[in-house]
């Protein structure tokens, strides 16, 4: 029996049928003996074998029809118990009818006695059949969860129906290596109770449980990870060294069964995500449905997500513009696979090439533009100011000017929190681009185009960002490089950021800078520690953290974008409008023309000095350009952002 239970071998159905018939015959015989007070001489003279054989035949037929023998005993449940009761009851009823109509006249015995036998037999037979299944199920549970030392012991978060389904799925899988030792919950009505032979533990006493029992992993449904209670529980597990795994909700299981490949390690993105943002899809649909939409930087992290979300609103055409050939090719394949009915035009171009971009606008006539193309890495642009100016300033000016020339209805620019009181060349190039975009509402040539700027912080998992870098460093065995022990950043998921971009695009009337609620700042050191523990490793013992010093142009703390003194609310709680000054279009154009002229000379000092004239609040930090800042002190409130 052990080899069947331990190696998930299935006992043949005919063996289960024979075992059930044996139990039925034994229980009937015992009931018969009990009613006759074990007077064997009288029993044998009273047609015992005829009545016993008849009952066994009837019971066997009923159980076969009701398929009592077809279920796997180790996975018996309440439904199986009810089928056993039903089969025993039906067998008893049929037996009494047949006995009273045909058997008693030929082989007479006391009718009262046979009725008493059947009452006793009903209890004994059903009890023994259920006990068999309970015993096998318990033995299977014990052997598979306690006698195999190689099993990974797991807890399941929650004790509702979903949690029970996860437990059953893990135990029924032939390939699983998990032993479920309990549930954890914060519901006082369930704590210390048992569900399917395992206990429900108090999540607040998890540390004591670890002292008593070896706990390797916690399994949690990956939906509703934004709930504060679950986040607190996960934080506690990570701090205690328990690896957290996620599984999709049961309605996403393949063919109704949990596939082991669907069990994933908890990602730091899951831990940092917040409650889903509610957006007005009706307004966005009215804005985009049937329109020709251009996305620059379409192959990038933000751009590709904009493409995916825009396509869901049924535009007549989406123009995917980027200079990165291979990523653009990958995006094209995804679009063709997921949105075969939408026209998607691939356009390889550099936004700095005005002639090439003119060709795009001439051929495609976009009605809505999402401008996401930019250089974004602070140290890279700090070391190469000319390239940052060409892409982030000239490239933006090219696309914006063409939007005006071709009468585009709406132009949405993707900016960054690093444009607020910038300390880097990259942040300043984005701020200059913002200023130009804002000034276009005062351009005499602009008759139709509404220019809107959206500004937010770091997005989780974007190309080259801290999280993918930490993952790669962990895979290599460390160390994890952090620039400063106290450095903090704001984070938002890519889908969340793009949701808000689309929403802001619908509410903009032109000239605004919309800023997004980024939540609470995250300490990068804490992020590194959590990622190490999520990988099942111990900080400093398995993976070390190395502090390398702030990089050129890098701030220790990013500015708060939703400061009530500098923002105005909108109808969406997570979107606010920045209070900004109005700019003279002619003056802005003059400044940018001078900047671009200096840029052609490749004199980095002259270029950055001009940028500081255009954006007086630009104070360089950890950079070679600090010498331009009047000994590092300048009035930071020259004008208000």
Give dist(CA 354, CA 399) in Å, integer.
8
- For domain 281-457+494-519+561-625, give its CATH number from 3.40.50.10540, 2.40.50.840, 3.40.50.720, 3.40.50.2000: 3.40.50.720
Q: What is the pLDDT of residue 589?
A: 95
The residues carrying an active-site annotation are: 418
Contacts of 104 (CB under 8 A, 6+ apart): 111, 114
Tokens of residue 538, six digits: 């111990």
Q: Are 463 and 301 in contact (CB under 8 A)?
A: yes
Give dist(CA 543, CA 470) in Å, integer.
11
Q: How long, in residues, is the chain?
A: 641
| Nearest of 620, 640, 639 to residue 630 by alpha carbon | 620
Establish how many alpha carbons lie within 13 A of residue 459's alpha carbon, considering only the half-sphere containing its beta carbon: 25
Helices 425-439 and 604-614, axial angle in degrees (round to 10):
50
Domain boundaries, the chain: 2-145, 152-266, 281-457+494-519+561-625
Give dist(CA 73, CA 69) in Å, integer.
9
Q: What is the pLDDT of residue 6?
A: 45
Q: What share of the chain is helix, strand, coil (3-state, %, to 5)?
A: 50, 15, 35
- For domain 152-266, give its CATH number from 1.20.58.100, 3.30.70.100, 3.40.50.720, 3.30.56.10: 3.40.50.720
Listed as own residue / partner, the contacts of 222-230 with beta carbons closer than 8 Å and 24 or more positions apart are 222/246, 222/247, 222/248, 222/249, 222/264, 222/270, 223/248, 223/249, 225/270, 225/271, 225/273, 226/273, 226/274, 226/275, 226/276, 227/275, 229/186, 230/157
What are the phi and psi torsion angles at 375 (to 5°)? -90, 130
Q: Are 339 and 311 in contact (CB under 8 A)?
A: yes
The 3-state DSSP class for residue 547 equals strand
Q: What is the pLDDT of residue 373?
A: 95
Tokens of residue 483, six digits: 């620039």
**Count of C-beta atoms within a 10 Å radius of residue 197:** 13
Q: What is the pLDDT of residue 311?
A: 93
Q: Are 629 and 608 in contact (CB under 8 A)?
A: no
Contacts of 415 (CB under 8 A, 6+ apart): 430, 433, 434, 453, 454, 455, 513
Judge whether 152-266 and 281-457+494-519+561-625 match in fold: yes
pLDDT digits (tens, 9 = 90+) for 400-449: 999 999 999 999 999 988 888 899 999 999 999 999 999 998 899 998 89
Give dist(CA 396, CA 437) in Å, integer.
8
pLDDT digits (tens, 9 = 90+) for 1-43: 444 444 445 567 778 888 888 989 999 888 888 887 777 666 6
Tokens of residue 12, six digits: 């043949």
| Nearest of 301, 302, 337, 341 to residue 318 by alpha carbon | 341
pTM reported for the whole predicted model: 0.69
Q: What's the distance, CA 305 to chain centroid?
A: 16
Q: Are 392 and 430 in contact (CB under 8 A)?
A: yes
Q: Parallel, antiparallel, or unpaired for β 243-247 and 264-265? A: antiparallel
Q: Are 219 and 156 in contact (CB under 8 A)?
A: yes
List 492's β-bridge partners, or say none. Answer: 459
Q: Mean pLDDT in runs of 10 for the chain (641 residues)?
A: 48 81 90 81 72 89 82 62 87 90 82 85 89 75 56 81 80 71 83 82 81 80 64 77 79 66 74 68 87 95 93 93 93 90 92 96 96 93 95 97 95 91 93 93 90 85 76 88 87 84 86 80 87 84 89 74 57 75 89 95 94 92 86 40 33
Distance linking the first and last C-alpha atoms of the chain: 76
């Amino acid at each position: 029996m052990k080899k069947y239970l331990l190696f998930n071998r299935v006992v043949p159905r005919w063996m289960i049928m024979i075992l059930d018939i044996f139990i039925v015959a034994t229980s009937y015989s015992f009931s018969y003996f009990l009613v006759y007070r074990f007077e064997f001489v009288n029993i044998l003279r009273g047609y015992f074998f005829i009545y016993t054989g008849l009952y066994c035949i009837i019971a066997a037929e009923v159980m076969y029809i009701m398929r009592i023998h077809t279920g796997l005993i180790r996975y018996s449940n309440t439904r199986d118990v009810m089928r056993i009761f039903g089969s025993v009851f039906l067998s008893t009823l049929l037996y009494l009818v047949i006995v009273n109509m045909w058997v008693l006249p030929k082989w007479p015995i006391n009718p009262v006695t046979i009725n008493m036998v059947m009452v006793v037999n009903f209890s004994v037979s059903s009890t023994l059949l259920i006990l068999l299944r309970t015993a096998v199920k318990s033995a299977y549970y014990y052997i598979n969860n306690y006698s195999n030392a190689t099993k990974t012991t797991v807890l399941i978060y929650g004790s509702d129906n979903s949690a029970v389904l996860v437990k059953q799925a893990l135990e029924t899988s032939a390939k699983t290596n998990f032993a479920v030792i309990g549930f954890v919950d914060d519901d006082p009505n369930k704590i210390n109770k048992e569900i399917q032979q395992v206990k429900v533990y108090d999540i607040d006493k998890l540390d004591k449980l670890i002292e008593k029992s070896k706990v390797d992993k916690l399994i949690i449904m990956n939906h509703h990870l934004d709930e504060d209670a679950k986040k607190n529980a996960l934080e506690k597990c990570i701090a205690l060294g328990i690896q957290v795994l996620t599984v999709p909700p049961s309605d996403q299981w393949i063919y109704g069964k949990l596939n082991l490949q669907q069990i994933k390690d908890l990602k730091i993105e899951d831990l940092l995500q917040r409650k889903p943002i509610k957006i007005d899809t009706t307004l966005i649909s009215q804005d985009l449905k049937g329109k020709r939409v251009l996305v620059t930087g379409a192959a990038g992290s933000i751009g590709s997500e904009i493409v995916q979300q825009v396509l869901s609103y049924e535009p007549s055409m989406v123009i995917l513009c980027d200079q990165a050939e291979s990523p653009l090719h990958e995006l094209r394949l995804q679009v063709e696979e997921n949105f075969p009915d939408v026209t998607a035009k691939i356009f390889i171009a550099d936004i700095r090439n005005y002639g090439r971009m003119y060709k795009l606008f001439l051929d495609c006539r976009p009605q809505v533009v999402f401008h996401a193309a930019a250089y974004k890495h602070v140290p890279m642009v700090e070391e190469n100011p000319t390239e940052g100016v060409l892409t982030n300033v000239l490239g933006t000016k090219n696309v914006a000017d063409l939007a005006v020339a071709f009468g585009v209805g709406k132009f949405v620019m993707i900016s960054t929190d690093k444009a607020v009181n910038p300390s880097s060349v990259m942040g300043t190039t984005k701020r200059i681009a913002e200023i130009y975009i804002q000034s276009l509402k005062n351009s005499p040539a602009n008759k139709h185009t509404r220019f809107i700027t959206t500004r937010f912080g770091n997005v989780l998992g974007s190309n080259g960002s801290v999280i993918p870098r930490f993952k790669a460093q962990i895979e290599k065995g460390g160390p994890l490089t952090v620039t400063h022990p106290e450095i903090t950043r704001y984070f938002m998921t890519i889908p969340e950021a793009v949701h808000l971009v689309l929403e802001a695009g619908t509410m903009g009337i032109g000239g605004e800078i919309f800023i997004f609620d980024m939540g609470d700042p995250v300490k990068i050191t804490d992020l590194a520690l959590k990622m190490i523990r999520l990988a099942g490793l111990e900080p400093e013992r398995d993976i070390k953290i190395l502090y390398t010093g702030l990089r050129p142009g890098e701030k220790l703390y990013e500015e708060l974008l939703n400061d009530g003194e500098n923002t105005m609310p909108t109808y969406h709680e997570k979107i606010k409008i920045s209070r900004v000054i109005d700019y003279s279009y002619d003056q802005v154009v003059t400044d940018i023309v001078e900047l671009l002229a200096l840029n052609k000379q490749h004199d980095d000092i002259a270029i950055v000095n001009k940028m500081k004239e255009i954006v007086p609040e630009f104070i360089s930090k950890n950079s070679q350009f600090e010498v331009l800042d009047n000994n590092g002190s300048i009035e930071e409130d020259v004008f208000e952002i």
